[in-house]
Structure 1
């Protein structure tokens, strides 16, 4: 896996203009580890991940100063002090998932094609509940700002799931982290989901089809170099 870190700013940057959304500062390291190895960088509400009503469709995306990683179908906020982890599929050499690793856990935001009528997240949440329970997890559900939220305990790991029904898309977010940090993790997850931007595109596709993830060129080139080195 490849990790791309975004260092916490010592002080706030000067505005760069409304039409120039800043890219995250990127440091590149190869890191192997689990949830217990995550750097406790903390979460700062002043990072600009709260306050607006989102997530947003690309057609209604705000012109703001929130640093996001552009994954093609979804642009995900990257808080100060967090890291972007790219998970590759060994079988296909494609991108399996992209995670934002914060001080409170690993956040994964995924977008899917959905019906115009909405309501997909309610179905998915019910199926996810049954799946988690069948795997031995302790699951509880409640109502959050977008509808159903799920909490689950798997071993020493606490999970929180949220979902949002948008115009012909559904956005699902999950944060996984140690139970000791579970009390603050949901707010971190909601902040990242709230400021995410979904670009569904106009092409027809079956409901529940994952929207394609494309990596920024610099990230894709680095991963290609890693793979070439491993093969050699």
Structure 2
């Protein structure tokens, strides 16, 4: 595990085969959320962005994880979660005052709609685990809120071109009112690089660490 801080700024400062299968927040059933055209990401949306849409550097500090480039807000930290069994990176988290944010990208069908399917399954799983779950609608469609013990969770998802992006923030219930906005802000400015390789639907897009971060973690493990 490695943690890397980002200090606050001072003032002034291709074609491929498709692996598709046959197939304020109000408490509602996830089945009520149809996949609507306006919920599909387009090049006119603010974000998140497909790498093909990014023409130039916008000045936003991001950590480049290969398949995703995730914003790192002032005052936040980057935490790397390693997988001891697989010997690779399990996840990378952005830790903010409101909670820990995890951004993940997956291969998706060209037809879109994967997030509604995944989100419905996720809500069912959380309920089965005893969580208090609320389904709502946000700027990209389905959003899921859950309370697990003392922890408040918020999940959002975005269907992009052949990818799906999922974001979650986990934090104290005392920050539950402000945490979703922090999560949305990071998701909104995330860049996704799907790549051209064929992948089965739902395959997580690979995470690669910047050289400096990978070296730091290797030194920690050796020490």
Q: Does the alignment reach a TM-score above 0.5?
A: yes
Q: Secondary structure at the match of 1:116?
A: coil
Does residue 138 (structure 1) correspond to residue 132 (structure 2)? The answer is: yes
Q: Show the 5 A alignment for 1:9-158.
A: 9-13=9-13, 53-61=46-54, 63=56, 64-158=58-152
Q: What is residue 16 of structure 1 aligned with on the other side?
A: none
Q: Distance in 2 between matches of 1:12 and 1:186?
A: 28
Q: Shift in Å at residue 113 of structure 1?
A: 0.1
**Structure with higher RCO (Cα < 8 A, 6+ apart):** 2
Superposed CA RMSD: 0.9
Does residue 224 (structure 1) correspond to residue 218 (structure 2)? The answer is: yes
| Structure 2 unmatched runs, 5+ | 14-44
Following TM superposition, the consecutive aligned residue runs of length 4 or more in structure 1 with deviations greater than 6 angstroms are: none
Q: What is residue 155 of structure 2 aligned with on the other side?
A: 161
Q: Distance in 1 between matches of 2:206 and 2:129?
A: 28
Q: Show the 5 A alignment for 1:188-203.
A: 188-203=182-197
Q: Secondary structure at the match of 2:152?
A: strand
Does residue 5 (structure 1) correspond to residue 5 (structure 2)? The answer is: yes
Q: What is residue 34 of structure 1 aligned with on the other side?
A: none
Change (3 A) 1:173 1:12: farther
Does residue 180 (structure 1) correspond to residue 153 (structure 2)? The answer is: no
Aligned length: 191
Which residue, 206, 209, 213 being the options, matches 2:203? 209
Q: Distance in 2 between matches of 1:11 and 1:108?
A: 28
Q: Distance in 1 between matches of 2:156 and 2:172?
A: 18
| Structure 1 unmatched runs, 5+ | 14-51
CA deviations on 1:75-101 (whole Å, 9 max, x unpaired) are 000000000000000112200000000
CA deviations on 1:185-228 (whole Å, 9 max, x unpaired) are 00000000000000000000000000000000000001111111
Could you tell me the TM-score, scaled by structure 1's length? 0.81
